[in-house]
Structure 1
Amino acid sequence: MKVFLAIVLLLFSHLFLPAQNQNSDPTGDQFLEDLMKQYPQYFEQVLKMRDSLKVQIIYTQIDRDANNSPTFKNYFFHYNPDNYFYPASTVKLPVALLALQKLNELRLPGINKNASLITDKAYSGQTAVLNDPTTPDGRPTIAQYIRKIFLVSDNDAFNRLYEFLGSQYINDNLKRMGYGDAQIVHRLDISLTEDENRHTNPVSMFDASGKMLYQQPMQFNKNPYQLRNDSIGKAYVTDSGLVNHPLDCSRKNRINLLTLQQILQSVLFPASVGSRQRFNIREEDYNFVYQYMSQYPGESIYPHYDTAQFQDAFGKLLFWGSEKGSLPKNIRIFNKEGDAYGFLNDISYFVDFDKHIEFMLSCTMYCNRDGVLNDDHYDYDTVGLPFMKRLGRAIYDYELKRKRLHSPNLSKFSLKYDK
């Protein structure tokens, strides 16, 4: 009987395991600091100013066994899950995955990511969406919103998925999955009250012939939010002028860096995390996410993007920074970045098909020397992007030299793009 109970407990505990084979204790970790000290011309100032720049880094080595199964080892720099950073567009990653999950959970005939999603309005601050000129037939779909999110980080696309899900569904599911520190409580790039963000639009889904497949009334998130004391900066600009105290972020989105990286790992390597942490999505949806997470804007047909505005490196902060022009096809980065309120964030998985290397790298950095928000005087171009580029390349160069017992088979991530 005791043996039976032990087996049951072992199997049950697997449901709640964090990402497997990881060093998840960041205390006393010197590896990244020592690596950056090898490049004082790039990193000396960042090492000295790590507190004011609010830098946090997670680098994950990936090793494969003879069966190509991966193991993961995390290295941290200045990581503290209690230190608030504004996640900006990185919250689009879990919301896109949850949208695919909700479709799968509905289990209704004809319901999928390519069904028409019509968004109505029924409350203060809400707007409707009846068509989408970026699709071949003008129909708004969840698939198209997800493409826009990963290709160019479209804010309206995120807002429409937020409305389809409702903030209660988002946060309840992330908590259930073990990502309980995440709080995604508002739309992006639109000024609404907490009450307006708790209310989400009624939506309907239709097939290509116009037959209604699903109808969802306006939702309201009645759950209390966690009490927080998060703030940013020393002052901020409003339409009325300068406000001389920190920006209150206690009702803004929050998610820590390790949680974001674990979410990315869960979708790229679902077998490497406990079943509780996996999103309930279909195999075809995994491949869909992989494609648009790594595809360049110029490789997209629908939506079409002007490559003068959206360069290949758009959104690929780590390793590429603000690089212009065409990028080599042997390197692909599967990521979600975000920038706002002076923060630059990037959560990434790198593959080089020619050199047979792979690794994960995540970073957040505060690029706002004067501490004033909304003044359009951020240090993205002079501090943040150069640092992100050099950090990615320093890790890449290290990976080129790192010995592996088994070369990874990366064919899973060798994808066909739109063009």
Structure 2
Amino acid sequence: MKSLSKTKANTLKIIILSTVTMVLFSCGSHPKNYENALDFAISSPSKKIKRVMDNLEAHELQILFTTVERDKRDAIKFHEYSFQLDSLHYFYPASTVKFPIALLSLEKLSSLNRSHLDNYQVEEDSVTYSFANTINEIFAVSDNEANNRLFEFLGSDYINSKLKSKGIHPVRISHRLSTSDAANPNTKKIEVLSKGLELVNIQPNINSNPKPLNLSHLNKGIGYVQNGFTIYTPFDFSYKNYFSLRAQHEMIKRVIFPEAFKESERFNISEEKRTFLLESMHKLPREQGYNPKIYYDSYGKFLWFGDTKKQIPNHIKIYNKVGYAFGTLTDCAYIEDHKNKLSYFITATVLVNKNGVFNDNNYEYDSLGIPFLAALGREIHRFEKYKKRKF
């Protein structure tokens, strides 16, 4: 009787598994039914993805996905896929603007023949900082003060002109982050301190006052909170920073594969500085000395791992910069899976502001936005893994 019961139980398991498999196939959720990873991912039956996909207008979703291959001559070839990509559709970039600021700071140091290991001081600040530590703070925990110090080092006009000259657009960086003087166009004096070398003075800059952006969807929601009061009129982003998905994607591609671009489109940094930047981008907070109970591995890694606090496996390297503010979540990433020999770029942004009120700190980051980005990353990886095994 016992063996018969086991046989029935095993038969039942097989039936259940077969039924589940048939349901999945009928829903079109198997990679074999799709030509690329992005189409596969956004068609997923996962609730984490469907909750966004079923209400696209509210979530202003944009995605760029790029695979990388080398031809017979070892030249880089990019294969790009996108969903709702629109460089004229405004979204708030939040801390993703720290990426170009960190990168251009390294380039400016190169032009000054100075090292990223050098120290610096900001006018009216008695503390001496290290450029390397500042950049590590930006990527490990997205430190706003670190970003703002480098903003003083560069100035908005310098940032915007340099990005434009490299073909990275549309972008407009106009202000600092989370500080009372965020919109002040003028920068402070910076002193670069190098051992055995003459002190370098970076004089204050008078930068252009920002003009209103000429984009769609600049006025968002039904209201916003100001000085503790809710003002029921759409929030105007016309003078805020803008860093389009296209611009973010093009910039990270230049960092990872500079050889795939014309010399005029590259960032002029030494291999030593580039290696430092890449390490800073992929290192986890615990690897930078931060408390892992507070700054867990996925603290700044939304794609694939954002909805878990477990450690990211050692064979996965994610070079990225995230941003989240005003209900908008963005992640610009290059992902490497050394175990399965996979690599690709994903840049995505999603709005999660159900009540339509901005600046009230009532957004669905943890319940909706981050789970979506995490599931998106997992589904894309699932497809790429299947595709590699297939061939």
Please give the range of the TM-score, normalised by the shorter of the 2 chains: 0.7 to 0.9
How far apart, in 1, do the equivalents of 2:345 and 2:194 lie?
A: 39
Q: Which residue of 2 aligns with 1:353?
A: 338
Q: Which residue of 2 aligns with 1:172?
A: 161
Q: Please say which of residues 91-100 and 323-332 is displaced more in the overlay.
A: 323-332
Q: How does 1:201-240 map to 2 (within 5 A)?
A: 201-208=188-195, 212-222=198-208, 225=211, 227-228=213-214, 230-240=218-228
Q: Which residue of 2 aligns with 1:154?
A: 143
Deviations 1:207-238 (A, max 9, x none): 247x6520122111136636436233221111
The letter for the 2-side match of 1:257 is L
Q: Which residue of 2 aligns with 1:332?
A: 317
2:94 maps to 1:91: no
Q: Which residue of 2 aligns with 1:288?
A: 276
2:69 maps to 1:82: no
Matched-pair contact (CA < 8 Å) for 2:37–2:380: no
> For 1:120, which of 117, 120, 123 is the aligned residue?
123
Any stretches of 5+ residues in structure 1 without a counterpart?
1-28, 122-127, 132-138, 407-419
Q: Which residue of 1 aligns with 2:258?
A: 270
2:374 maps to 1:389: yes
Give TM-score scaled by structure 1 length. Answer: 0.80
How far apart, in 2, do the equivalents of 1:63 and 1:47 lie?
A: 29
Q: CA deviation at 1:35?
A: 4.0
Q: Which residue of 1 aligns with 2:64?
A: 58
Any stretches of 5+ residues in structure 2 without a counterpart?
1-34
> For 2:244, which of 252, 256, 260 is the aligned residue?
256
2:293 maps to 1:308: yes
How far apart, in 2, do the equivalents of 1:322 and 1:30 lie?
A: 24
Deviations 1:139-174 (A, max 9, x none): 412111111111111111110111001111111111
The letter for the 2-side match of 1:87 is P
How far apart, in 2, do the equivalents of 1:34 and 1:319 lie?
A: 15
> SS state of the match for residue 339, structure 2?
coil
- Alpha carbons of structure 1 residues 231 and 150: separation in structure 2 relative to 1, 3 Å: same
Q: Which residue of 1 aligns with 2:187?
A: 200
- Highest Rg: 1 or 2? 2
2:129 maps to 1:140: yes
> SS state of the match for residue 97, structure 1?
helix
Q: Please say which of residues 254-263 and 318-327 is displaced more in the overlay.
A: 318-327
- Alpha carbons of structure 1 residues 30 and 243: separation in structure 2 relative to 1, 3 Å: farther
> For 2:348, which of 335, 359, 363 is the aligned residue?
363
- Alpha carbons of structure 1 residues 191 and 310: separation in structure 2 relative to 1, 3 Å: same
How far apart, in 2, do the equivalents of 1:355 and 1:269 lie?
A: 20
The letter for the 2-side match of 1:116 is N
Greater helix fraction, Structure 1 or Structure 2 = 2
Q: Which residue of 1 aligns with 2:28?
A: none
> SS state of the match for residue 242, structure 2?
coil
CA RMSD of aligned residues (A): 2.1
How far apart, in 2, do the equivalents of 1:386 and 1:224 lie?
A: 35
Percent identity, aligned pairs only, is: 34
Between the two proteins, the alignment pairs up a number of residues equal to: 355
The letter for the 2-side match of 1:372 is V
Q: CA deviation at 1:373?
A: 1.0
The letter for the 1-side match of 2:80 is N
Matched-pair contact (CA < 8 Å) for 1:348–1:360: yes
> SS state of the match for residue 246, structure 2?
helix
> SS state of the match for residue 78, structure 2?
strand
> SS state of the match for residue 186, structure 1?
coil
> SS state of the match for residue 335, structure 2?
strand
Deviations 1:2-40 (A, max 9, x none): xxxxxxxxxxxxxxxxxxxxxxxxxxx997345422425
Q: CA deviation at 1:307?
A: 1.2
> SS state of the match for residue 348, structure 2?
strand
Give TM-score scaled by structure 2 length. Answer: 0.86
